């Protein structure tokens, strides 16, 4: 019998014009997953930060036509994924819905749309390959808080085979396009996080390293590599090394830099402004032999294949949170990752270490 399958794609969202930069930032900094301060300190801080940061951020969004390309990019991914799922699941009716965390289409709008459509099956697919409490968990909480029905939920996919092949393929293409230089260092740049978030058991940094290990294993000619973290915000200590210092160091060594955004699945302000403008300039200033930025995954066929595979495998598994392959991804010290929790729940026993 034909099923109506809703696939909900979660992402951060971004301002759709100059007027929405400040309210977007206010929503972001008012998220308790981002700023741990209690009410009413957090909303006050969110107002203060969005007011002071707004004008500079608006100028950067103006360079991209006024707003963020994240929704158009995610829409293209949704179309490509729908086409792939139509092939993989003939006879079923597939529809992808966008659920953005801090701007339209908001997660609560997606909940209404999915309910109105009357889906038989729901797959929740956060477009964050590496789980973080600040992204994946925050999005899934927004879904639940808005009355979103429980679905088959994909926790994270930091080592998924086609996802890894997509990254490796794009890095190799960038290297070939640059004329296959020899003196290369690959910089895998991920969005950073405050140290305190990791200390509380967030597995994001560990999962980013797992992705880098798997990608590097497919690129033996490009073994000189490093993982670094970008986009620091605020006065707290963030995990490092920073992408900025890593670019500078590689440039001073006269390296040909290949910079790959390893935790972003689409282009947006952090790739188009920070990586393409600020760090490209830094690399040239400090004498890099070259600087090539690897495109974000977008609709790269291997990436869409990865997403389709995750959806199909989630549909074959139990309702609830599902780590890829049904086995936990993270070691026990990362207690904030629900992939462990999900498996133990389904086994109806919890080992002491979890
Ligand atoms: C892996 C993905 C991301 C993590 C982890 C993450 C954590 C995180 N982000 C901020 C603050 C900002 N992020 C901003 C933009 C932004 N962040 C991500 C992804 C992750 N963030 C994306 C995809 C985007 C782009 C959105 C778009 O416009 O399309 C911004 C806004 C831009 C700016 O003013 O710099 C802020 C602010 C924190 C504090 C944080 C973890 C605590
Ligand atoms: Fe961010
Ligand atoms: Fe996990």
Domain 161-293 sits in CATH at 3.40.50.1400
Q: How many CB atoms lie within 10 A of CB 161?
A: 14
* pLDDT at position 92: 98
Surrounding residues of ion ligand 3, Cβ less than 5 A:
329-330, 337, 339
* pLDDT at position 327: 74
CA distance 67 to 58: 8
* pLDDT at position 350: 36
Q: How far is the CA of 298 from the centre of ligand 3 (A)?
A: 24
Judged by its nearest atom, the ligand closest to the C-alpha of residue 134 is 1
Q: Which residues of the chain are under the pLDDT cut of 70?
A: 322-326, 340-354
From residue 216, alpha-carbon distances to 17, 18, 144, 220, 240 in Å are: 38, 39, 37, 7, 19
Domain segments of the chain as ranges:
18-62, 161-293
Beta bridge partners of 121: 5
User: Which tokens is 46 given?
Assistant: 């969110």
Q: How far is the CA of 191 from the centre of ligand 2 (A)?
A: 7
Atom of ligand 1 nearest to the CA of 197: 42
Atom of ligand 1 nearest to the CA of 67: 28
Beta bridge partners of 230: 191
Q: How far is the CA of 228 from the centre of ligand 1 (A)?
A: 16
* pLDDT at position 342: 55
Q: How far is the CA of 23 from the centre of ligand 1 (A)?
A: 14
Q: From the CB of 274, is ligand 1 less than 6 Å away? A: no
Asked whether this complex has an ipTM greater than 0.85, the answer is yes
Residue 191, annotated as binding a ligand: yes
* pLDDT at position 332: 79
Rg (CA), the chain: 20
- Which residue, chain included where needed, has tokens 């400040």? 22
CA distance 273 to 189: 14
CA distance 46 to 41: 9
User: Which tokens is 90 given?
Assistant: 């003939």
* pLDDT at position 231: 93
What is the value of pTM for the model shown? 0.94
């Amino acid at each position: 019998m034909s099923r109506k399958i809703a696939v909900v794609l979660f992402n951060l969202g971004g301002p759709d014009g100059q007027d929405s930069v400040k309210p977007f930032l206010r929503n972001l900094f008012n998220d308790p997953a981002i700023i741990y301060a209690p009410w009413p300190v957090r909303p006050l801080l969110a107002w203060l930060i969005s007011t002071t940061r707004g004008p500079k951020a608006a100028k950067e969004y103006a360079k991209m036509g006024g707003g963020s390309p994240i929704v158009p990019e995610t829409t293209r991914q949704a179309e490509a994924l729908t086409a792939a799922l139509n092939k993989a699941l003939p006879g079923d009716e597939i529809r992808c819905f966008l659920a953005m965390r801090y701007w339209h289409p908001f997660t609560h709008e997606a909940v209404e749309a999915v309910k109105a459509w009357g889906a038989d099956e729901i797959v929740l697919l956060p477009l964050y390959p590496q789980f973080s409490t600040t992204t994946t968990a925050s999005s899934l909480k927004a879904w639940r808080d808005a009355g979103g029905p429980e679905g088959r939920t994909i926790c994270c996919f930091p080592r998924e085979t086609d996802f890894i092949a997509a990254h490796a393929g794009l890095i190799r293409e960038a290297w070939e396009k640059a004329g296959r230089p020899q003196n290369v260092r690959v910089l895998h740049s991920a969005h950073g996080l405050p140290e305190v978030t990791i200390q509380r058991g967030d597995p994001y940094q560990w999962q980013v390293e797992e992705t880098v290990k798997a990608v590097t294993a497919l690129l033996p000619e490009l073994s000189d590599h490093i993982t670094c973290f970008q986009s620091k915000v605020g006065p707290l200590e963030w995990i490092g090394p920073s992408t900025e210092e890593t670019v500078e160091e590689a440039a001073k060594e006269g390296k040909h830099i290949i910079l790959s955004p390893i935790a972003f699945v689409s282009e947006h302000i952090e790739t188009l402004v920070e990586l393409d403008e600020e760090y490209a300039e830094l690399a040239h200033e400090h004498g890099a032999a070259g600087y090539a930025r690897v495109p974000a995954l977008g609709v790269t066929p291997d990436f869409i294949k990865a997403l389709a595979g995750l959806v199909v495998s989630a549909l074959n598994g139990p309702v609830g949170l599902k780590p890829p392959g049904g086995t936990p991804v993270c070691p026990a010290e990362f207690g904030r990752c629900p992939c462990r929790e999900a498996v133990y729940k389904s086994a109806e026993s919890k080992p002491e270490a979890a």
